[in-house]
């Protein structure tokens, strides 16, 4: 097939027939985030490459292998965002948002780009809904953030998603843990995969996350970060857990969760499901207390999450979750001849101004073909306008499902009349 008629590998069109599913998720996520005091932010699709190298971390797969990076016409290195957090931190700093009342709570819908091997549930362009909170130091904020994800999943009537949490401590306790990990893995050094051999010195925690069979078998008996947390980090984690308990949110502590991005400190969490293709994680997040400073701001704590919308929809489809019904045509007004079609166009305009989804003929079809079209687009009601209707200022409103007909005046206040009739029927 000619390449101009085929979307690039790892991308997917979101077709009109499926878009109601996206609208369901987007409106639930946005309205629930707003009940927590979040406000929407939009940041650019591309940023300077250095932002992600510094922000996401240059030992991560995302930065080392997966970024869509290119030079623009002035030779500047530009990268399509692989995730949303770094851009939001940059925008908050650049626009002085961190000088406003804290905590600052932001949410976003964003497309992300990662050059990964495409599989079911793993795309090269995918969409995230994310939340970032700044200046909330208390562990109650961590629990509240997790609770927000929980609320969204509950609202969407998802049942099979499980929450796993962990603490990866602060740089102080992590240094001791790194030493213990290095010591443990040294006995297997020769057998590790090439990527893990490289990471052993720079970022040994990432070895716990390696998907290769041999490395994951070594991970099973590796030391646990939870045995190395300093007192402050242990207290923080204990309060996160007790707050989740008091919110009635069930979770499992999984000391193997390390997350794939470098910025995390303390709490990390993942919501996992069995039925989102080959990938288990629907939503991931955690605290990142050093990131704002790393990107050039003052020391302000941060925490957030992002959920993959494609993966979420896979789970919703598999669980048969309900969606808000697709928005279809309320009323189709057919014309028996060109003059009547022009009149119908005027009526349709009035209905649209009133907020109805209304259509009339713009093709030049016969009356029969117009009614066939009204059927195809699932119009709830139809009306035929001809010379008689125009002269008498009355037409028949037909309920397309029941076949019932009702005389309606098409004179003054036409849209108001239709509105009151449809309200009565509903």
Interface positions with ligand HAM (CB under 6 A): 83-85, 114, 116, 122-123, 126, 128, 130, 132, 260-261, 281-286, 304-308, 310-311
Q: Minimum CB separation from ligand HAM for residue 123, in Å?
A: 4
Return phi, psi of residue 318, to 5°: -65, -30
Nearer to ligand HAM, 44 or 338 (CB): 44
Q: Minimum CB separation from ligand HAM for residue 278, in Å?
A: 10
Nearer to ligand HAM, 283 or 415 (CB): 283
Nearer to ligand HAM, 154 or 209 (CB): 209
Q: Minimum CB separation from ligand HAM for residue 285, in Å?
A: 4
Nearer to ligand HAM, 181 or 258 (CB): 258
How many Å apart are CA 276 and CA 162, to the nearest integer? 13
Q: Minimum CB separation from ligand HAM for residue 90, in Å?
A: 13
Q: Minimum CB separation from ligand HAM for residue 303, in Å?
A: 7
Q: Minimum CB separation from ligand HAM for residue 27, in Å?
A: 19
Nearer to ligand HAM, 280 or 326 (CB): 280
Cα angle 407-408-412, degrees, rounded to a multiple of 5: 155
Nearer to ligand HAM, 261 or 371 (CB): 261
Nearer to ligand HAM, 321 or 371 (CB): 321
Q: Minimum CB separation from ligand HAM for residue 335, in Å?
A: 47
């Amino acid at each position: 097939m000619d390449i101009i008629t085929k979307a690039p590998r790892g991308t997917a069109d979101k077709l009109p027939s499926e878009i109601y599913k996206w609208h369901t998720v987007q409106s639930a996520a946005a309205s629930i985030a707003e009940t927590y005091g979040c406000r929407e932010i939009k940041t650019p699709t591309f940023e300077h490459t250095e932002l992600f190298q510094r922000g996401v971390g240059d030992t991560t797969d995302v930065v080392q292998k997966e970024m869509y990076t290119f030079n623009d016409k002035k030779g500047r290195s530009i990268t399509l965002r692989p995730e949303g957090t770094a851009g939001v931190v940059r925008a908050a700093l650049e626009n002085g948002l961190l000088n406003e009342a804290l905590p600052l709570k932001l949410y976003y819908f964003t497309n992300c780009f990662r050059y990964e091997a495409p599989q079911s549930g793993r795309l090269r362009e995918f969409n995230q809904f994310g939340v970032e909170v700044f200046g909330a130091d208390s562990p109650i904020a961590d629990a509240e953030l997790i609770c927000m994800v929980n609320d969204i999943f509950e609202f969407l009537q998802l049942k099979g998603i499980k929450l796993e949490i962990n603490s990866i401590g602060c740089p102080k306790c992590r240094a001791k843990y790194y030493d213990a990990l290095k010591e443990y893995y040294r006995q297997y050094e020769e057998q590790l995969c090439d990527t893990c051999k490289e990471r052993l010195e720079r970022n040994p925690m990432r070895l716990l996350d390696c998907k290769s069979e041999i490395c994951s078998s070594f991970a099973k008996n590796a030391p646990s970060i939870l045995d190395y947390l300093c007192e402050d980090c242990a207290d923080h984690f204990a309060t996160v857990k007790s707050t989740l308990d008091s919110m009635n949110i069930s979770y499992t502590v999984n000391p193997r969760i390390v997350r794939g991005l470098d910025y995390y400190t303390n709490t990390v969490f993942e919501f996992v499901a069995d039925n989102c293709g080959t990938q288990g994680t629907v939503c991931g997040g955690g605290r990142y207390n050093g990131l704002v400073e790393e990107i050039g701001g003052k020391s302000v704590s941060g925490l957030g999450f992002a959920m993959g919308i494609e993966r979420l929809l896979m789970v919703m489809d598999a669980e048969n979750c309900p969606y808000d019904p697709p928005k279809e045509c309320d009323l189709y007004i057919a014309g028996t001849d060109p003059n009547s079609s022009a009149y119908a166009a005027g009526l349709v305009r009035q209905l649209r101004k009133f907020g109805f989804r209304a259509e009339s003929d713009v093709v030049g079809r016969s009356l029969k073909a117009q009614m066939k079209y009204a059927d195809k687009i699932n119009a709830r009601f139809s009306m035929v306008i001809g010379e008689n209707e125009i002269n008498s200022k009355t037409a028949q409103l037909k309920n397309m499902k029941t076949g019932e007909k009702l005389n309606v005046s098409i004179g003054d206040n036409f849209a108001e009349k239709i509105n009151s009739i449809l309200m009565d029927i509903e």
